Structure 1
Amino acid sequence: MSLRQFCRNRLANCLAKPSFTRYQNSRLLLPYRTYATSREESLKAKAAVGPFTFKAAALFLGVGSGLLLYFKSEKSKVEKLREQKEAERKKPESFGKPKLGGEYTLTNAETMKPFGSDDLKGKFSLIYFGFTHCPDICPDELDKMAQVVDMAKKEYGQDVLVPVFITCDPRRDTAEIVREYVKDFHPNLIGLTGTDEEIRKVAKLFRVYVSSPPDISEGDDYLVDHSIFFYLMDPQGKFLDCYGQNAEADEVAKSFKGYYEEYKKTH
């Protein structure tokens, strides 16, 4: 066999039986399954991303919100407790209520009949000491008293709070003068007068300071220095509270409301 014939036969065999090597570098190789990462690479990828999933984020936000609300609530409690302690610290030391009031009898300027503490039993009363020749303070205070009485009437009904004016200038404040004077302030205002001795005894029961100029002659014009308070008494004639010149009508009415409702709970 010649060399030329041998080469021709080999070429024919290669064409008849293709080997794997022919397609090894060809693009027609069968596709095969590939894996992007190994198990170790997968774990590394997860570690790189971290555990912060949507579920973890929701849990984090929920816990965070709960803690925030808790700390706000605790802060509010602490602040409230601090305010209470501060209020207690500033609260004036109390030694109980003074013993004011008692049994007395004067003259009702309207009826000219005896009238006193027994006639006020069964109702709350608001008592004021003044004098009819007072230029400004007494009228202002009696106007305020009238407002308080009307507020109480609107809230609880007629005659729930009885207003009383007691003169501390009986020398000039006769029954007739007092009768006309009280009409200018409130139709329910009761005016009381009496002798100088009777008035001073009642003023002493309420610890009311009263001072008139000495050596007064008939017809002299003068002022009477006296305490400026409303005295709130309960239906049993016991002292409840007093209100100075700086107390507003609504403050007195609010205070009366508290005493009234507390009294009704036990009587």
Structure 2
Amino acid sequence: MRYIIAGTFIVLGLAGGGYFLSKAVQPQTLQDATVLPDSRALPPFELLDDRGQPFGNQRLAGNWTLLFFGFTHCPDICPATLQQLSIARQRLAENGVDPLPEIVLISVDPERDTADVLADYVHIFGDHVTGVSGEIDELQKLTSDLGIHFQKANTSDTSYVVDHSTAVLLTNPAAELSALFSAPHSVDAFVNDLAILISRK
């Protein structure tokens, strides 16, 4: 299976307890989002953005942020998802939604995705998209906590791909995990659900 969709579920039973996901409080209006009953903090992590600047928990504070884990050599789902998120953000702006969410691609291919490579790639989708990567141990601190899977495939040559989860995660201005969107993704669902979730601030 080329793209593992394990990341559509947050790992249950963390630290002796469980963070159980539930469908939105207003299922008649939310189309796709799965909302945590209680938002929770992300584990401490320290990566680097596409300008070589530190990117950790503090960079998420103060903003609604859409996190997507992928890589720049991804042939299909990564560019498609980033394009959908960018279009959805533009439509939210046209609809007067404020504040608008930031979009962050966290690369699961740090061997190839240097800051320069990430900068060239994410800016194709707009100035509001940030690329992030870092040491594999730091990536795993975050992905393990969130139930995000990634694994290098076809490792016998340099044109390898990385199998990875396809969920889009939403963090709130307190830098807490608030909701997730499972694949297949839809621009209309992003626009509808993000407008509702952001309005609950």
Q: Report if TM-score (shorter chain) is over 0.5.
A: yes
RMSD: 2.4
Structure 2 CA distance, aligned partners of 1:239 and 1:118? 14
Per-residue Cα deviation, 1:12-53 (whole angstroms, up to 9, x for no partner): xxxxxxxxxxxxxxxxxxxxxxxxxxxxxxxxxxxxxxxxxx
Q: CA deviation at 1:96?
A: 3.9
Q: CA deviation at 1:160?
A: 2.1
Structure 2 CA distance, aligned partners of 1:95 and 1:240? 6
1:142 to 78, 82, 87: 82
Hey, which of these two has a bigger chunk of helix by percent? 1
Structure 2 CA distance, aligned partners of 1:199 and 1:169? 10
After TM superposition, the score normalised by the length of structure 1 is 0.57
CA contact (8 A) 1:100 1:205 kept: no
Are residue 258 (structure 1) and residue 196 (structure 2) matched?
Answer: yes
Largest Rg, 1 or 2 = 1
Q: CA deviation at 1:104?
A: 1.9
User: Could you list the runs of 5+ residues in structure 1 that have no partner in the other structure?
Assistant: 1-86, 88-93
Q: CA deviation at 1:97?
A: 5.8
Structure 1 CA distance, aligned partners of 2:36 and 2:99? 32
1:103 to 44, 61, 77: 44
Q: Which residue of 1 aligns with 2:8?
A: none
CA contact (8 A) 2:39 2:178 kept: no
**Matched position secondary structure for 2:116:** helix
Per-residue Cα deviation, 1:173-215 (whole angstroms, up to 9, x for no partner): 111111111011121101101112112222123210111138x
Please show how residues 1-267 of structure 1 align to structure 2 within 5 Å: 96=37, 101-109=42-50, 111-156=51-96, 160-213=100-153, 216=155, 220-263=158-201
Hey, which of these two has a bigger chunk of strand by percent? 2
After TM superposition, the score normalised by the length of structure 2 is 0.75
Higher RCO (C-alpha 8 Å, min separation 6)? 2
Identical residues among aligned pairs (%): 26
Q: CA deviation at 1:100?
A: 7.0
CA contact (8 A) 1:171 1:196 kept: no
User: Could you list the runs of 5+ residues in structure 2 that have no partner in the other structure?
Assistant: 1-27, 29-34
